[in-house]
Amino acid sequence: MSQRIFLFVLVFCSLLLFNSCKTTKPTVSKPSETTKPEIKDTLPSSEKVSPPPPPAIPEVVEEKTLKSEAPLKIAEFRAAWVTSVANINWPSQRNLTTSQQQQEALEILDFLEEHNFNAVILQVRPQADALYESDLEPWSYFLTGETGKAPQPYYDPLKFWTEAAHNRGMELHVWLNPYRAYHTTGGEISEKSLVKTRPELMTKLKNGFWWMDPAKQGTQDHVAAVVMDIVQRYDIDGVHFDDYFYPYASYNGKQQFPDNISWEKYKTEGGKLLRDDWRRDNVNKFVKRIYSEIKAEKPHVKFGISPFGIWRPGHPASIKGMDQYSELYADAKLWLNEGWIDYFTPQLYWKINQVAQSFPVLLSWWKDENTENRHLWPGINDALIGEEEKKDTDEITNQLMITRGILDSRGAVHWNVGPIMKNSELAHALKEGPYRKKALVPASPWLDDEAPKAPKLNISKFEDKLALTWEHPDPEDVFRWVLYFKYENSGWDYKILNQNERNFTLHNARNFTKIGITAVDRTGNESNFKEIVLQ
């Protein structure tokens, strides 16, 4: 009995001694990829293991300057025509109040900004008149319903459009018809119309239009004065002519343009050109003059032309259609070859698979003719997608993707803003497809190749945010800003900001590893990229 008790006590003491030498540790479950680590409650509450503190908000640990070839390719001209003739786009009706006109203008600009366009081409001279204050031509009938009548209460529509476009980060190009003096939707011909005040320049066509004779020196001088008046007085970004030079033959019943007096005068003075060549020469000299005068006044203001999309049938071989060279007397290929324009927008208003006028075939041909490396931004016809085809938006988006594949300087101009605004499916397809993110207008190095100075970026921290502000030594040289930021586990991203913006807030600051900002000038030059490394 005593032996059993002794053995029991011996075992009990051994176990007690063994346990007193052990160190108790918490049991921690292995974390999965989708759950946070779980710490089991195996210790007294006073000894629980606390989770690690959250990472600190990034500190600036390095700053270095990179070249202006920014981390992302984001240059593409995205423009839409806004038509005033016949009140097609704006203003939608004559006799709208000033407030209504302005509201419509802002609705168009807001729509374009929302859908990541960066330029608007506004028709300001539909029939030798003015949708702006002018001492040279009368207020437009399409604006007020009466030729020569200013908006009431008074405002200057072009100034309003220009400022509103710039506030939204968009360029404003003025669109003028150089020779058309009266359109049949323009009401009765007023005593203030140039048809009455400058009759020596005018010819009447069989369809009721009045046309200024391109051969007359008075015509060329007057239209040049109109262009330069706008360039000098308004902060515009471009001047744009469309395809109306000598009129389409159908406007005059397929008969010759009525310029016999000018032609006989030319021959009497010893002119040697054939009549068709003489007409083309009149237009060629005028185009070259306008380009030269704009550059002498404001080099940054771009000059663009949107001619008929076919130069001549058979160029290239599969192409058929109207011959602008012999009908409109427009040698558009020459203007492109000579570099008398800054951007060239042939009206390629046909479908991709329309063999005789194929969009990609014509675009490739015009690219080969772009020997001076100007911008080639084709006009595309959004009206190809009719109301009954709202869901078939592939034609337009595919054309945009084709331009990206063919062109060096990417871009396109949409004819016109109306079909995009009325077709929600097309608008959605653009914004969710090729226009998903904003883009800068491509640079024009032949106008200016000097980049602006780099902005100075200031970073402040609060909570989980980075408050960014910036300043620039020459703010007049800045048209837009590009804020670049790099995420911890992915690549660069960017946000394009308007010229009047000077601050931005980044949330979830711990996600960013690098940041920087650039300045962009009026001709698209981008400053050096100052990369700030965060930790």
- Spatial CA neighbour of 378 closest among 354, 353, 411: 411
**DSSP state letter for 252:** G
| pLDDT mean over 393-410 | 96
Distance CA 99, CA 106 (A): 11
Angle at which helices 394-406 and 359-369 pack, to 10 degrees? 30
Residue 64: pLDDT band with limits 50, 70, 90: low
Name the token pair of 127: 């029939």
Per-residue model confidence (pLDDT) at position 19: 42
Name the token pair of 4: 């059993």
Distance CA 236, CA 173 (A): 6
Q: What is the dihedral of CA 84, 85, 89, 91, to 10 degrees?
A: 50
Distance CA 116, CA 438 (A): 5
Q: Which residues of 42-67 are buried (b: 16+ CB within 10 A; e: fewer)?
A: eeeeeeeeeeeeeeeebeeeeeeeee
Distance CA 393, CA 238 (A): 30
- Spatial CA neighbour of 303 closest among 436, 447, 415, 416: 447
Per-residue model confidence (pLDDT) at position 385: 81
What percent of the residues of the chain are helix, what percent strand, and what percent coil, each to the nearest 5? 35, 20, 45
Per-residue model confidence (pLDDT) at position 388: 53
Coil, helix or strand at residue 142 = helix
Distance CA 304, CA 378 (A): 11
Name the token pair of 309: 């999309």
Q: Which amino acid is at 258?
A: P
Per-residue model confidence (pLDDT) at position 48: 34
424 sits in the region (left: phi over 0; alpha: psi -120 to 50; else beta) called: alpha
| pLDDT mean over 79-89 | 98
Q: Cα separations (Å) of 182 from 124, 240, 253, 258?
A: 14, 19, 17, 16
In what order do the strands lie in the sheet containing 119-125?
A: 375-376, 343-344, 302-305, 238-241, 171-176, 119-125, 77-82, 411-415, 379-381
User: Is the model's pLDDT at 276 over the cut of 70?
Assistant: yes
Placement of tokens 């606390």 in the chain? 50
CA atoms within 13 A on the CB side of 147: 23
User: Is the model's pLDDT at 61 over the cut of 90?
Assistant: no
Distance CA 237, CA 302 (A): 6
In this structure, the number of other CB atoms found within 10 A of the CB of residue 98 comes to 15
**DSSP state letter for 88:** S
* Burial class of 168 by CB neighbour count within 10 A (0 to 12, 13 to 18, 19+): middle
| pLDDT mean over 74-85 | 97
Domains and CATH numbers, the chain: 60-70+448-534 (2.60.40.10), 77-432 (3.20.20.80)
Distance CA 387, CA 381 (A): 14
Rg (CA), the chain: 33
Residue 63: pLDDT band with limits 50, 70, 90: low
Q: Cα separations (Å) of 498 from 265, 482, 521?
A: 53, 9, 11
pLDDT digits (tens, 9 = 90+) for 19-57: 443 333 333 333 333 333 332 333 333 333 333 333 344
pLDDT: which is higher, 221 or 44: 221
Per-residue model confidence (pLDDT) at position 4: 43
pLDDT digits (tens, 9 = 90+) for 447-459: 999 999 999 999 9
pLDDT digits (tens, 9 = 90+) for 154-169: 999 999 999 999 999 9
**3-state helix/strand/coil string of 395-437:** HHHHHHHHHHHHCCCCEEEEECHHHHHHCHHHHHHHHHCCCCC
| pLDDT mean over 83-101 | 97
Per-residue model confidence (pLDDT) at position 529: 81
Q: Which amino acid is at 190?
A: S
Distance CA 501, CA 481 (A): 8
User: Is the model's pLDDT at 77 over the cut of 80?
Assistant: yes
Q: 57, 464 in Cβ contact below 8 A?
A: yes
Q: Which amino acid is at 70?
A: A
Q: What percent of the chain has pLDDT over 70?
A: 85
